[in-house]
Structure 1
Amino acid sequence: MISRLSSYIPIELAARQGSYPGRMPLTILWDIDHTLIDNAGISKEIYSAAFRALAGVRPAGAAVTEGRTDRLIMKEMFLRHHLPEPGWAAVEAALAQAGEERTDALRSRGAVLPGVREALKAASAQNGWTSSVLTGNIAANARVKLSAFGLDPLLDLTVAAYGADAVHRPELVAVARERVRLRYGPTDDIPIVLVGDTPRDVEAALSSGCRIVAVATGIHTQAELAAAGATIVLPDLSDTAGLIELLETFQAP
């Protein structure tokens, strides 16, 4: 949909606290893995290490991710191995430790995807916009992945929704909406746009009344994302000006 390329001049980040006079509100919730960053397989290493720490054995195969939450990913791993699932506190602690131990590997092997840094800067500079994340990662590992590439200052993580907040991704939208409401005030009329790379991102948006901007920067093609129900599918986020113009069409009047 977006083809015009243009340069973007960085602007100082807008103030994040409170309301804005004459604001045209919008909440943008970005996925992390394969939308903002290429984790270079580190995510699957984290799940494998956490499983081994908890079960005492290596998993028979890699974790199945593709937009699932960490709660669901780990639950399915234990079910697949016919083992009882430990309490969530233990699972989350194991995931956090495995993520922290792989910070350097992520930084050296992973990468920020094309146009992402510019897109986040531009969204953060828009008056009245809240730019955060909706991710299947637990909060600790979301921060590891974002901070490894210096992306965390460009996002309002106080209102994010994480993989510990629900088992199924669509449920995370209500979590983020409530956190935005508590921080910034009433949100009933504020549009929410999800940006993600999997059919589960599309499902989460459509089932919760949100808009979706799908990006084919993961394993799913543009055709697959469109078949999942996304009416806007981009090859990547490299056209900053075009992306902001698109997002502006979703703003509340």
Structure 2
Amino acid sequence: MLWDIDLTLVDYSGLGRRWYTDALHAVGGVPLRHLPSFPGRTERSLAREFLTAHGIEHSEERVELFFAALTALAEQDRATLPSLGRALVGASEILTELSTRANVVQSLVTGNLPELANYKLEAFDLHHHIDFEIGGYGSLSEHRHDLVAAAITQASTKHGDFETVVVIGDTPHDVAAGLHHGTTTVGVATGRFTAAELEESGAHVTLRDLSDTPAVAKALLPQAG
């Protein structure tokens, strides 16, 4: 199971804008003039657009400085993250349920940096169910399908080959990345896209939300009931 984080498991709406604004000032000393569209994007893709739009050299050194600034800001907010966001309904329950299933490994395909992914889930005690070592993270590539490839490769190396890989997210980008590698894709309409839009993007299964744990488990693991 490869989970997206933002607006799939947790909601920190508005926090990204503040972190990006502060990171921009730290790296370039300029005010915010442009904010990228976040849903489904990787941190590396967002950093390129963000730096370029503000007249800052888009070099690997600058990108890494930007990542470091974002990580420092997240570290500063780590203790207060529970008050800055929320776990989405059913997220804890389905992660817990799947962790009891034999031969199920849960990890991430997320546009977040690894540290941010950990902090965001830790805030609501969701991190215990996730194997962070094998996740695909937004620092890797501008293209989300590369994150899926990385996660599958690392998971297979650590745990052996899997009969089924399931990618779960709230945007068409999540769906497209999963389809690119022939995975089962599940769209969850808890973000900015409707179930119909996720279905149109090619999702094999669409869910209104994660609130009905038995139904969600059956959708993710139909062969297990």
Q: TM-score range by the shorter chain?
A: over 0.9
1:31 aligns with 2:22: no
CA deviation map 1:156-187 (0-9, x unaligned)? 112111111222111111100111122112x2
* Structure having greater relative contact order (Cα 8 Å, sep ≥ 6): 1
How many residues are matched? 222
Pairs within 5 Å for 1:98-117: 98-117=73-92
CA distance in 2, matches of 1:103, 1:41: 16
RMSD of Structure 2 on Structure 1 (CA): 1.5
Structure 1 stretches of 4+ with a deviation exceeding 4 A read none
User: 1:250: Cα distance to partner?
Assistant: 6.2
Residue equivalent to 1:22: none
User: Structure 2 vs 1, CA of residues 178 and 82 (structure 1 numbering), >3 Å: closer, same or farther?
Assistant: same
CA distance in 2, matches of 1:61, 1:102: 23
Residue 34 of structure 2 contacts residue 54 of structure 2 at CA under 8 Å; is this kept in 1?
Answer: no
**Amino acid paired to 2:186:** V
Larger-gyration structure (1/2):
1
Structure 1 SS opposite 2:193 = coil
Pick aligned residue for 2:51 from 56, 78, 94: 78
Pairs within 5 Å for 1:1-253: 28-86=1-59, 87=61, 88-185=63-160, 187=161, 190-249=163-222
**Amino acid paired to 1:103:** R
CA distance in 1, matches of 2:47, 2:188: 26
Residue 184 of structure 2 contacts residue 204 of structure 2 at CA under 8 Å; is this kept in 1?
Answer: no
Structure 1: segments with no counterpart, 5+ residues:
1-27
Residue 136 of structure 1 contacts residue 169 of structure 1 at CA under 8 Å; is this kept in 2?
Answer: yes
Greater helix fraction, Structure 1 or Structure 2: 2
Q: TM-score, normalising length from structure 1?
A: 0.83
Structure 1 SS opposite 2:168 = strand
